[in-house]
Every structure is written in structure tokens, then in C-alpha cells.
Structure 1
Amino acid sequence: MDSVTIGYIGMAVMIVLIILGVPISFALGAVGLIGITMVVGFTQALSQATLVYFHESTNFVLIAVPMFVLMGNIANHTGIAAGLFRATANAVGRFPGGLAIAAVFGCAGFGAISGSSTATVLTMGRIVMPELKRYKYDQQLGAGALSAAGTLGILIPPSLILIFYGIMTENSIAHLFIAGIMPGLLTVFLFSAMIFLIAVRKPEMAPAVPSPGRRETIASLTGALPIIALFMFIIGGIYFGIFTPTEASGIAVVGVSVYGIITRTLTWKTARDALKETIVTSTMIFMIIASGYIVSRFVAITGLTQNLIEFVQSLNLGPYQFIAVITIIYLILGCAMDVLAMLILTVPFIYPIILHYGFDPIWFGIYIVVMAEIALITPPLGLNLFVMNAISPDISFWRICKGVSPFVLMELLVVLLITAFPAIVLWLV
């Protein structure tokens, strides 16, 4: 059996294992190690796997992962999300669909702190859904808007998925962070516009809420200013080269911790809980990244990537035809696969072809994240849909799927716009 055939069989086995629910890191590591063994022998395979695992696990850039995760967990335990939602609700709540629009802005703000889509939906959902019920918002619309807005956590920097992509492809994480700003703002605008249009067309679905007094509005906005200032300081520092993303992650943890201490929301208990959650999440991410590199080594040894490039060349597809094809592939994979698994499975193959077609690797990183956003809200395995269903069990899973469908269309519009106008992504880089 030739090495390329072994490569294809290995990828097929890995897809089956992931779909069957085998932990991603184990599926990747097992397929990679066994596949390399079949090509070069067990002793050399074990040596290569050990070196790859150690080298990638000790990568200095990876320090940013647990630090940004810790920042998000501290923010989750210190009531920052509630303050952000209250500030935006007081500012825009009086407009049609204002409360749901405030939820989108709140998710964008909290997502910029947490870097996690799941944490954003979970935290904001618990705060926002009771308010939507209180003001008689359509629950299907509210659940759909929150599920979709939660995806902003992986696009607006700092984003764990962008860090993950940057490490896998050896691209600048700082440039990826900066590139995510404009598409993130575009997504916020399109989500808000969709809610506004629905509210104007059917006012009973998203009624305006009573306008608070000027003093209350100013007070709530003032309360959110420290977090907004911290975000601007971190992104500004990265953009102007004052510090690296890794250094920024440490500054972010200190900033959020100081905020928690000043507001007396960061206690020994909340700090301990945040640290425990960080250890669990970071360990999982490290294992997935290291195992992903073993699979990448397996793919390189078998010559699978070169074989795929030659196959794509034989199809005579134009650059944008190829983008259309992989968009369809990602939409299909998103229905059946975890986001990280989807990226690990596809990036080693697609990335060299993207470079062959002359696309900017930073642009492709943002494209990948937007497709990951769609995967998070695509039935039947969109993770955000399950999280929202757990928060609001009185809303059926399929009603949530129906509620999120207009926002999936908006995400696809983002894909179309950043493909037609790459400057949206690359303008600030």
C-alpha cells in the first residue's frame, strides 16, 4: 500500500472517530501515530511524535492561550457581562428590537474579553433571556440572536481560534487579531440590522422598552468604560507594536483582576473557580494542538497535501471557484463536526492550496473563523444551539434553529463581502 493511500485511509478513520464522539486529541494522536508507524516504522514514529508533542507544547506563543482563557473566566465570574449588557440596553433599548440589539453588542463586548463563543453564549444567555421574557420579546428571535451573537467571541480579538490558526500556519497572531476587528464590527452591524428589520416589520416580536433616565444611562455607560478602555489598550498596544499578543494576555489578566478587586466581585472563591476552569480548558486545548501537529506530520510524510494540490490543479478551478467549493465543504462539515476538529482536519490540506492560488494567509484565517462561526450555529451539531437550549429548556431545539436561520444568512453575507472586498479584512493590517 503506497503512502498516499495510507494518508487517505487515515483521514477517513479520523473523521469517523470524531463523528462517533471519540475525544478529539485522542482521535488525532492515534491516527497520526499509527499512520506514521505504517509509513516509517514504530521506532521512528514514536520518536517523531514525542519530539513534536514536546516541541509544540513548549511553544512560547502558547502562553497566550491559558492567559486569555483565565481573563475570560475571571470576567465571567466578576459580573462584567451584566454591566456591558446594562450599558448597551440603556443606550439602545428604546429603539425597535433594542433589547436584542443590546444583547448583540453585549456579546461582542464580552466576546472580546473571553475569546470564547461558548462562554459568551452561556454567560450572556443567563443574563439576557430573563430580560427578553420580562419585556415579552419573541423567545425564538431572542434565542436565535443570542446563539448567533455568541459566535463573535471567536472573531473579535483576542480569539482562541485565531491563536490556534496562527500557531498551525505560523502566521502573525498580532496581524490576525487586528484583521478580525473590521469583520467583527461588520457582523455586529448586520446582526443588529436584521433584528431592527424584524422588529419594524413585526413590532410584537421585539417591542421597545421604556427609556431610562439620563442619569441611569450615563451611570451604566460609565461602569462599562474601564472594560472598554482595557480592550482598546490591549488592541492598541498590539497594533502599535508596544507589546506582543503573549504579553498582552498577561496585561489583560491583570487588568480584569484589578477591575474585579475594585468592584469587590473577585473573591478567593471566584479566583479559585476561574483558575480551575482555566486549567481544564487549557489542558484540553494544548492536547488538541499537539495532537494536531502529529497529524500534520503524518500528512506531510504521506505526501497527501501535494497529492491534493495536484488533484485541484487538474480540475482547473479558478481562485473564487475554489473558495466556493471549500465554503460548501465547511458548511457540510459544520453540520457534523466540532469547530476545532474541523480546523485541524482541513487547514493542513487547504492552506497550501490557498497559498498556491495567491490568497493572503491572514485573510484566509479570518475566512476560516467566519466559517467556524457558521458551524457553531448550524444544526444539528452547532454547539451554541445546544448551550442556548440548556439555558432555556422551555424553547425547543428546533425553534432555536429556526430563530438562528436569519443570522446564518448574515454570516454568509459576511463571507461574500470579505471575499469580494478583501480590504475589509486587510485594511488595518
Structure 2
Amino acid sequence: MEHIVIGYLGLAIMIVLIFAGVPIAFALGTVGIGGIVMVMGVQQALSQSTLVYFHEGTNFVLIAVPMFMLMGNIANHTGIAAGLFRATANTLGRFPGGLAIASVFGCAGFGAISGSSTATVLTMGRIVMPELKRYGYDQELGAGALSAAGTLGILIPPSLILIFYGVLTENSIGDLFIAGIVPGLLTVVLFSALIIIIATLNPEKAPPIPRPAAKETALSLIEALPILALFTLIIGGIYLGVFTPTEASGIAVVGVIFYGLISRKLTWGAMREALTETITTSAMLFTIILSGYIVTRFIAVTGITQNMIDFVQAMNLGPYQFIIVITILYLILGCALDVFAMLILTVPFIYPIILHYGIDPIWFGIYIVVMAEIALITPPLGLNIFVMNSIAPDITLMRIFKGVMPFVLIELMVVALLTAFPIIALYLVK
């Protein structure tokens, strides 16, 4: 059997395993190692596996993954998220749709220290949903806004997905972090504009809330200072070259622990719980990343990548046409696969092709994250939707999907703007 046939057969088996519910890491590892055995023999498969797991598993850059996760988990136990929402609600609540807009800004702020979409929705949803209900906000709008805004956790740095992409493609994680700032802020502005339009056309869906006293607003703004200081420290230090993203992750953990201690909001129990959550999730992510490298080796030895480049060349597509094709591909995959599976299945093939087209790899990393955001809020998988439903079980999945659809259109608008004006993502990097 020809190597390229083995390669495509292996990919088909991997997709079947993932759709059948086999954990992604096991599906990737099984196909990767099994495929290398068929192409190069058992000895080479064992050698390749050992090299990948040792070399990539000890990659200094990967230390940033558990460290940023630990920072987010500790922050979750220190009340930073609640303080941030109070500050944005007191400032923006008096405007049409102000409380929903405050939730968008709150998600963006918490996402800036959690790096996780699911953690952002889970944390902010528990804080915001009762407030939206209290002030008579439309539940579809509120749940939709929170589900969509939660995706900002993987775009606004530090982002676990950007770290994953950077490690997978050997691109600068610092540059990827910086490139995510402007698209993240653009998404926040467009989400807020959408809420204002909805609230203006249907005031009963998003009424303004009573304006708090100036002193209360000032105090709440002071509560938001720790998260702003932490974000400025991380991104400012990386941008100015004071420290690397990996070093920034360690400094960030020290910073959030320091805040927890001086505010007396971080207990030993909370610290133990944060460490347990970090270890569990990190083990899962590391296994997926390392198994992904095995699959990449398998793809390399079968010659699939060059075959796909030749196929795309034969189609005679231009760069914009190619982006349209892969956008449709990601929309389809996003309906059935989670974010990490999407990246593992596509990046090893698509990345060499985008280099062939001369597309900037940093821009492409931001593009992929925005497409991943859409995958998190589209049916039938839409992980953020299910997280939101677990927080607010009285709102059906169909109502949440209905509420999130306008925000999906906004995300597609962001994709179009990024494609038409790549400088949006690259302005701060260049």
C-alpha cells in the first residue's frame, strides 16, 4: 500500500474515532503511532514517539500553559471577576443595554487573565445572570451575549489556544499575544454596538438600571484596578521585551497570589482547588499537544502535505478564495468538533499551504482563533452554549442558540474585516 494512501486512511480512521467519542488525545496517538508503524516499522515508531514525548514535552514554552491556567484559577477564587463586573455595571448600566454591555466588558477583562473561554463563561455567567434576571433583561439576549463574550477568553491574551497554535507552528507566542489585542477590542466594540441596537429597537429587552452613587462607582472602579494592573504587566512586559511569555506566566501567578493574600480572599482551600484544576486540565492539554505532534510526524512521512499543496495549486485558487474555502471548512468542523480537535486536524495541512500563498502566519493564528470562537457558540456542539445552560437551566438550549446567533454574525463580520484588512491583527506586531 502506498504511503499516501496509508496517510489518508489514517486520517479517516482518526476522524471516525473522534466522532465516535474517543478522547482526542487517544485518537490522535493511536493513529499517529499506528500509522508510523505501517509506514516505517515498529522500531521507528517507538523511536519517533520517544523523541516527540521527551523533546516536545520538555519544551520551555509549554510551561506557560499550566502557569496561565493557574493564574486564571486563582483569580477565580479571589473575587476579581465580581469586582470587574461591578465596575463595568456601575459605569455602563445606565445606558440602553448597559448591563449586557457590562457583561461583555467583564468577560473581556476576565478572559485577559484566564485564557480560557469555558472558564470565562462559567465564572462570569454565575455572577451576571442573576443580575440580568433581577433587572428584567431578556434571557435570550443575556445568555447569548454572555456565551458569545466568553469566547473572548481565547482571543484576548494570554490565550491557551494561541499558545497551542504557536507551539504547533513554531511561531512567536509573544507576537501572537500582541496580535490578538486589537481584534479582541474590535469584537468587544462590535458586540456592544449590537446590544445597543437591540436595546434601542426593543427597550423592554434591555432596560437601563438605576445609576449608582458616584462614591459607589468610584469604589467599584478601584476594585477593577488589580485586573488592569495584571494585564498591563503581562502584555506590557512582553511587548517591551522585558520578559518572554513563559516568564510572564510565572510573574502573573506571583501577582495574582500577592493580590489574593493582601486582600485576604485567597484561602488554603481555594489554592488547593486551583492547583487541582490546573493539574487536571494541564495533563489533558499536554497529552493532546504531544499526540498532535505524533500525528504531524505521521503526516510528514506519508507525504500528504505536499499532495494537498499540489491539489490546491491545481485548483488555481487565489489567497482570498482559499480563505473563503477554509472558512466554510471551519464552520462545518466547528459544528461537530471542539477547538483543539479542529486545530490538530487542520493546522498540519493548512499551515504549509498558507505559507505557500504568502499569508502571514501570525495573522493566520488570529484568524484561526476567531473561527474557533465561532465553533464555541454554533450548534450542535457549541461548548459555551452547554456551559451557559448548566448555569441557567431554566433557559433552553434552543433559546440560548437563538440568542447567540446575532453575535455569530458579528464574529463572521470580524473574520471579513480581518481578511480585508490584515493590519487589524498585525498593526501592533509590525
TM-score, normalization by structure 2: 0.99
Alpha-carbon distance in 2 for matches of 1:223, 1:125: 19
CA RMSD in angstroms comes to 0.5
1:294 aligned onto 2:285: no
SS of the aligned residue for 2:224 comes to helix
**Displacement of 1:273:** 0.3
Unaligned runs of 5+ in 1: none
**Displacement of 1:77:** 1.2
**Displacement of 1:226:** 1.8
**Displacement of 1:367:** 0.2
1:192 aligned onto 2:200: no
Matches within 5 A, 1:385-396: 385-396=385-396
Alpha-carbon distance in 2 for matches of 1:227, 1:156: 13
Alpha-carbon distance in 2 for matches of 1:264, 1:405: 41
**Displacement of 1:19:** 1.2
The equivalent residue for 2:423 is: 423
Matches within 5 A, 1:149-228: 149-228=149-228
| Residues 113-167 of structure 1: per-residue CA shift (max 9 Å, x gap) | 0000000000000000000000010000000000000000000000000000000
**Displacement of 1:31:** 0.4
Which AA in structure 2 matches 1:408?
V
The equivalent residue for 2:20 is: 20
Which AA in structure 1 matches 2:334?
G
Which AA in structure 2 matches 1:261?
L
Alpha-carbon distance in 1 for matches of 2:83, 2:280: 27
Alpha-carbon distance in 1 for matches of 2:136, 2:82: 20
The equivalent residue for 1:73 is: 73
**Displacement of 1:286:** 0.5
Which AA in structure 1 matches 2:130?
P
Which AA in structure 2 matches 1:52?
V
1:323 aligned onto 2:309: no
**Displacement of 1:227:** 1.5
Alpha-carbon distance in 2 for matches of 1:128, 1:183: 24
Unaligned runs of 5+ in 2: none
**Displacement of 1:223:** 1.1
SS of the aligned residue for 1:58 comes to coil
**Runs ≥4 in structure 1, deviation > 2 angstroms?**
none
Matches within 5 A, 1:30-49: 30-49=30-49
| Residues 374-408 of structure 1: per-residue CA shift (max 9 Å, x gap) | 00001000100000011111000010000000000
Alpha-carbon distance in 2 for matches of 1:53, 1:17: 22
**Displacement of 1:79:** 1.0
**Displacement of 1:34:** 0.5
**Displacement of 1:284:** 0.6
TM-score, normalization by structure 1: 1.00
| Matched positions, count | 429
The equivalent residue for 1:29 is: 29
SS of the aligned residue for 2:171 comes to coil
Alpha-carbon distance in 2 for matches of 1:331, 1:205: 29
Which AA in structure 2 matches 1:391?
I
Which AA in structure 2 matches 1:209?
I
| Residues 337-384 of structure 1: per-residue CA shift (max 9 Å, x gap) | 011000000000000000000100000000000000000001000100
The equivalent residue for 2:128 is: 128
The equivalent residue for 2:407 is: 407
Alpha-carbon distance in 2 for matches of 1:263, 1:118: 26
Alpha-carbon distance in 2 for matches of 1:365, 1:27: 24
Alpha-carbon distance in 1 for matches of 2:300, 2:56: 16
